[in-house]
Amino acid sequence: ITQKMEVAVGVSFALSMSIAVFLMYYIPPYRVPQIWGYLIGDILLLNNLDVIMLASTAALLGFITLIFNKEFVYVSVDMEGSLAHGMNARAYHYLMLIVSALAIALATKAVGAILVYAIMVAPAAASNELVKSVRGIIFSVFIIALVAELVGIATSFVIFVSPSAIAGILAALSYLLALQIKRVRERVHVELDDVESKPGDVEEVFQQTTPHEHKEGHEH
C-alpha cells in the first residue's frame, strides 16, 4: 500500500503541474503572475491574515498529530499488521491524509506548490538515509525543513533572491549530503570490521604455530 501511495503521489504531482501549465494558456495575461505565485510562492509576501491562518491551522494540526501520533506511526509502518490487531487502521489512515492535505494546502499558499513538494520529499529522503527510528526521522525532517526555510529567508535579505528557491535547493542538497554521510559511515564500518578481524586472525595463527614450536623445542 505504501509503495502504491508513493507512486500515486508522484503521478498526481506530475499530472497537476501539467494541467496547471496547460490551463495557463487560457488564463488572461494579468492573472498569470497570480498563478505563478501559487506554483512558486514567496513567504515574504504573506499578509497578517495569512500568517494568522497558518499559525492557527498549524497549531490545530500539530495537536491532532500529537494525540494520534502512535496510531499514525503504526498505520504508516505496517498497515496490514494494524488491521490484523483490530485497529481501525483505515480511519486513521484517512485522518492522516486529511491532516497532510490541509498542511499542504496552507503551505502552498505560503511557499508555493513546487517548494512544498521539495520540502515533503527531500528532507524525508535524507532522514531515511541517516536515522533508523521513526521518531528520529520525524524530528530530523522537521529540523531540516526548518533550517532550509530560515536560511532561505536570511539569504533573501542579503541578496536579491527568492527565499523559496533557496529553501528548495538546500532541501535537495540535504539529501545529497545524507548520501555522502551514509557512504562514509559504511566505509568506516568496513574498516573497523577489518581491524577487528585482524586480532582474531593473529591469534589463530599463533595457536596454530605455538604447538609446532613447542614440539620442536622438546625434540631439541
pLDDT, tens digit (0-9, with 9 covering 90-100), for 181-195: 988 888 887 777 666
pLDDT band at 69, cuts 50/70/90?
confident
pLDDT band at 200, cuts 50/70/90?
low
The number of CA neighbours under 13 Å toward the Cβ of 69 is: 8
Where do the structural domains in the chain lie, given as residue ranges?
54-107
In this structure, the number of other CB atoms found within 10 A of the CB of residue 112 comes to 23
Cell of 94: 484517512
pLDDT at 205 over 50: no
Q: What local confidence, expressed as pLDDT, does residue 213 receive?
A: 47
Contact (CB, 8 A) for 125 and 179: no
Instruction: Tell me the backbone φ, ψ of residue 131, rounded to 5 degrees.
Output: -115, 145
Whole-model pTM: value is 0.68
State whether residue 89 is helix, strand or coil: helix
Instruction: Give the range with max mean pLDDT: 30-44, 96-110, 143-157, 185-199.
Output: 143-157
Q: What angle do CA 73, 102, 130 make, to 5 degrees?
A: 40
